[in-house]
Structure 1
Amino acid sequence: MTVTSPRRGVFADLFCGGGGLSYGAEQGGFDCALAADIEPQHVGVHHYNMPYGAGVVTDLGQATGDDLRRGALRATDIDLIGLGRNPEMLTKLTAVFGGPPCQGLSNMGRKDPSDIRNDLVDHFLRLVGELQPRYAVMENVPGLLEARNRPVLDGLLERAHQIGFNVVTPIRTLRAIDFGVPQTRERIIIMLYRRGENAPAYPEPTHAVDPNGSDLFLRRTPTVAEALDDLPDADLFEALLTSDEVRLDGFDPGYISSYALGLKGLANDVDDLSYPRLWDPQLLTCSMRTRHSDKTRGIYERTPPGKSAGEGHNLPRLHPDRYSPTLRAGSVGGTYDGRRVSGHTAPRPIHHRLPRVITVREGMRLHSYPDHVRLHATKFQGFRELGNSVPPLLARAIAHQIRIAAGLAPEKPTDALAPGNPELLLAEPRAAHALLAA
């Protein structure tokens, strides 16, 4: 690949997951130098979508900044000459983005400030100190600001001071719905800047549910129907019982909202500074079906929009003229540093028109992922990657503020990028690790 200019910012994404922060950062004018996570399937999906950066599988609670630099330079897919950067690019990072796991801090979790996974917040800051970017952004759950988690927050602020960074205060909670995402998701965003750098500002809302009642200069947040109604019903395609993709030759979506046009790459979006992608818009992806019994479909059919299903099905039904509730990820149980933690599968909402739960692609539309992006082909992993990620439009607004503070001009590349190895979308952990190391 060839990158148009070396003047764009360079970032690393730690605890990258499926890459919501990365896509938003690229749209905000940055190039991905490195994406790292402990789960090979997540790194593999990230590398499929952004193959120009290095994908490194590592335990970030144990890795050092030097480990990440070596991992980036070992990657065979990164074109250092084309990027216009020297081999020491990770010593000149503009920004580090990251969302360390936060199950112990979440209101949806066990609310345990001593959960061993909370230590990953400190490891994120340790790595920021070792990599010494100009800026760093950490996202976390709103529960971080609650009184019970004050020791975690105080430790975070102290660590930032120790590694030579200032924190933009007061720390703010940002709502995805205020940035054009049809989902009532809230995240704590912590913005850090190295001493001597310009302080970034938090982004101000660009959208509102009712612009006429707040600010006439804000755009209206798109609704569930505007996000989903141009997509075909996955239940019409037999192939989607065993695959997450199918061709749509001859399908006419009819009306397409401006929001959907933007996710298809067909709108003139001056704020999107990402690379054009080579992809097939006639291929419906991330859409493996869920089998429901006739009884379950009947329950879903009877559930009014905006209400929760009864009869043992505690699932919300989307309302076409409103907004999705927060799409949750669920988690994988396991042993962390010798301590056992539990996992669970998060519920998926019911489609606003159809008697079934939504597909991964429909969830991605509600999360503001571009249609060219693909997550893992399995529903479980795909929804984990989706639910754990920052909506790209929210991440874009944050990245623009970092770019402005860094003094970088908005630069839109012209060269189109092809995706990576499609085997990464289907790979189990061991296979994904092998493909990334090949």
Structure 2
Amino acid sequence: MQKINATIITIGDELLIGQVIDTNSAWMAQELNKIGVSVLRRVAVGDEWNAIWSALEQESRYADILLLTGGLGPTADDITKPLLCEYFGGRMVTNEKVLAHVRHLFENVYRRPMIERNARQAEVPDVCTVLHNARGTAPGMWFEKDNRILVSLPGVPHEMKGLMTDEVLPKLKERFQLPVILHRTLLTAGLGESFLAERIRDFEANLPGHVKLAYLPNYGMVRLRLSATGFDEQALTAEMEEQFNKLQSQLQDILVTNRDEPMHQVVGRLLKEHQKTIGTAESCTGGYIAHLLTSTPGSSAYFKGSVVSYANEIKTAVLGVQPETLAREGAVSESTVEQMVVGALKHLGTDYAIATSGIMGPDGGSPEKPVGTVWVAVGNSHSIVTQCFHFRFDRTRNIELTAINALNLLRKFFLEQVAHQKTNSH
């Protein structure tokens, strides 16, 4: 059966100058992949007639489905609708259902007068199928030409997602006989991408043609994603499980998780499963680790709080770091982060604590402690372990790397503690 391909075209000058980050196409690609549609390309164009027209002509050569977002507002720079009207050889007409919906929104939801410019949102090309936008005024539009489908959606993420979920995805599933696409992902730490590839070389070479392996390195760790495509879901699921188990068996010593989840969720799940709590004492990371941990719903079950001890006086007055330690060894030192952990455990009343202190850059470094030098400590009331890292990136990247590696250090420490307790209990 034919593979169904799609191109996502995002429209707006703000995307090209970096004023707005394009999250729409990433979300759309994920949702299309779930129903068996393969995304060939993601294209961004500005609010310029010729650029949009050229993108449509170019991508129509390869894609069965074109999905557009943006350019459907009521202002002069929103040219997507008139362009599509001309592209498909139609004329603009007022859709009464859309007009009634727009009027309802202004009278009952926005509670402000509807001007003529707003009423124009109900004007659509007469050659499209109108898709109801329950979350806003700009309707979606479904066009068909030369056995290809083009769908135009608002650029507002909340509205686009509603239309995709309620209208577009169901219609695509009805229209096409789509394959099943399955993914299984695991996360490894402690082995670089090239060495990892060498270790599983034979496994990768023996994969069936419809099963692919992808390497996704980030934060000094590597995610491995197996992807399989077919039409027999039951058989494909069983095959994927078999291959994924083979992959895991070769990576047990470096396996972080066999789920597609970030490090802070791995740590949170471990803490929740064992009914343990954590707090953080952060200097160089400025509360970023606490932010990651609390970004997961339900994190109140294991996260109690944080002390952002950016200044040395907070390290001493709140966390109890000895002034002599700071004077002798400095804030970025093993002794300092050890004492920060002790202070966090005492004042936050948690089972475990993480402490960080480092030089994130771009300035503040020295020959002895260059930019990117970071000390991390994790521990509980019985034991504390420390590690010094040397990162080499910009400030933001150094903070992110510190947080992920600190959480991984805690994960390993936690699992060692659990194993030790099990051994002692026997």
- TM-score computed with the length of structure 1 as normaliser: 0.28
- Larger Rg, first or second structure (1 or 2): 2
More helix by share: 2
More strand by share: 2
- TM-score computed with the length of structure 2 as normaliser: 0.29
